[in-house]
C-alpha cells in the first residue's frame, strides 16, 4: 500500500492482523499492532480483540491476562467480546475461580452475559464439579 502512496487505515491493519491470526502467526500479528500505533493509526477495540483471540487460542491464559490488563489501562477498554475471550481462555485452562471473578467484573462493568459467557463458565465448572459455586454466581 505504501508503494502506491496509500496510508493503511485501521481496517487494513485489522484485515492483515486477522489473516495472520488465522494462519497461526500470533506474534507477527501482535507486532503489527505495535507498528500500527507507531505509524499513527489508533487501534480500535477490534484490533485488540483480534490479537486477544489469537493469544487465547495459542498462548494460554497468562499472555491473555497480560494483554487484557493493558487494555483496561489504555484508551481502548475491553468490551463484551474481550471479556468473553478471556473468560473462555480461563475456562479452558480450568481456572474456575479466576473465571468467576472475571464474570462478576464483566457484569459490574455493565456487560450482559450471553450464550458465550454461559458456555464458557459451564466449561470451567465441568472438570471441577463446583456446581454450588456456579449457582451462587448465576
Statement to judge: residues 128 and 94 lie in one domain: yes
Contact 32, 20 (CB under 8 A): yes
Asked if pLDDT for residue 30 goes beyond 80, the answer is: yes
Interatomic CA distance for residues 102 and 82, integer angstroms: 11
Q: Are residues 48 and 4 in the same domain?
A: yes
The count of structural domains within the chain is 2
Are 55 and 83 contained in the same domain? no
| Residue 70 belongs to a domain | no
What pLDDT shows up at residue 51?
97
**pTM, entire model:** 0.87
Do 54 and 85 lie in one domain? The reply is no
Secondary structure E strands in 11-118: none
DSSP class of 13:
H
* Other beta carbons within 10 Å of 73: 7
Q: How far apart are CA 21 and CA 44, in angstroms?
A: 17
**92 & 52 share domain:** no
Instruction: Say whether both 83 and 137 belong to one domain.
Output: yes
Q: Quick: pLDDT tens for 33-70.
A: 999 999 999 999 999 999 999 999 998 899 999 999 99
pLDDT above 70 (res 19): yes
Residue 71 resides in a domain: no
Say whether pLDDT at 5 is over 90: no
**Residue at 68 is within a domain:** no
Summarised one tens digit per residue, pLDDT across range 72-123 is 998 899 999 999 999 999 999 988 889 999 999 999 999 999 999 988 888 7
Residue 72 lies in a domain: no
Distance between CA atoms of residues 89 and 121, nearest Å: 10
Range of the domain at 49: 1-59
Place 32 in a pLDDT band, splitting at 50, 70 and 90.
very high
In this structure, are 85 and 136 located in the same domain?
yes
Residue 1 has pLDDT above 70, yes or no: no
- Claim to verify: residue 54 and residue 98 sit in the same structural domain: no
**In the prediction, which pLDDT does 133 show?**
59
The reply to whether 13 falls in a domain is: yes
pLDDT-wise least confident of 5-9, 13-17, 122-126: 122-126
Amino acid at each position: 500500500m505504501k508503494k502506491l502512496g496509500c496510508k493503511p487505515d485501521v481496517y487494513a491493519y485489522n484485515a492483515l492482523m486477522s489473516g495472520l491470526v488465522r494462519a497461526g502467526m500470533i506474534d507477527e500479528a501482535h507486532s503489527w499492532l505495535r507498528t500500527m500505533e507507531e505509524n499513527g493509526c489508533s487501534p480500535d477495540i477490534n484490533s485488540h480483540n483480534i490479537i486477544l483471540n489469537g493469544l487465547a487460542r495459542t498462548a494460554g491464559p497468562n499472555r491473555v491476562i497480560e494483554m487484557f490488563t493493558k487494555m483496561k489501562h489504555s484508551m481502548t477498554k475491553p468490551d463484551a467480546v474481550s471479556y468473553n475471550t478471556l473468560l473462555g481462555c480461563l475456562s479452558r485452562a480450568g481456572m474456575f475461580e479466576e473465571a468467576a471473578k472475571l464474570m462478576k467484573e464483566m457484569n459490574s462493568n455493565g456487560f450482559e452475559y450471553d450464550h458465550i459467557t454461559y458456555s464458557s463458565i459451564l466449561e470451567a465448572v465441568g472438570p471441577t464439579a463446583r456446581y454450588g459455586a456456579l449457582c451462587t454466581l448465576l
